[in-house]
Amino acid sequence: QVRLVESGGGLVQPGGSLRLSCATSGIIFRLYAMDWFRQAPGKQRELVARITTGGSTNYADFVEGRFTISRDNAKNTVDLQMNDLKPEDTAVYYCRGFKIGDNYWGQGTQVIVSS
């Protein structure tokens, strides 16, 4: 059974930091590119960051150098370090693992940025 379980969300003040983690099981993790998406209320789900099987990373323009995605192939986890958070970063954050023919999502973790 494939499972992706996000953790680390919560309430943080503007300018604060959070570290999200996604623990996976049931897949050969090193074969999957891993993404973090987010979905704010009333908005479409959007890609935040991606890390390839080789460790290359890509970020959405709105990240502006504030977030870092990383993966640990020994622990089968992918993390998203988020710094200098803004109210507009408020959303449910999802991790996704994909390779050609496979596409798995976690259940999401809520991030609220508010004073």
60-106 residue pLDDT tens: 999 999 999 999 999 999 999 999 999 999 999 999 999 998 899 99
31: left (phi over 0), alpha (psi -120 to 50) or beta: alpha
Where does the chain show beta strands of DSSP type E? 3-7, 10-12, 18-25, 33-39, 46-51, 57-59, 67-72, 77-82, 91-99, 102-105, 109-113
Q: What is the pLDDT of residue 75?
A: 97
Q: What is the pLDDT of residue 94?
A: 98
Give the chain's radius of gyration (CA, Å).
13
Spatial CB neighbours of 35, under 8 Å, sequence gap ≥ 6: 47, 48, 49, 50, 51, 95, 96, 97, 98
Q: How does pLDDT run across 19-41, given as a tens digit for each residue?
A: 999 999 999 999 999 999 999 99
Instruction: Give me 76's structure tokens.
Output: 């089968």
Instruction: Give me 97's structure tokens.
Output: 């693992």
Q: What is the pLDDT of residue 78?
A: 98
Which of 112, 110, 114, 86 minimizes the C-alpha distance to 6? 110
Q: What is the pLDDT of residue 79?
A: 98
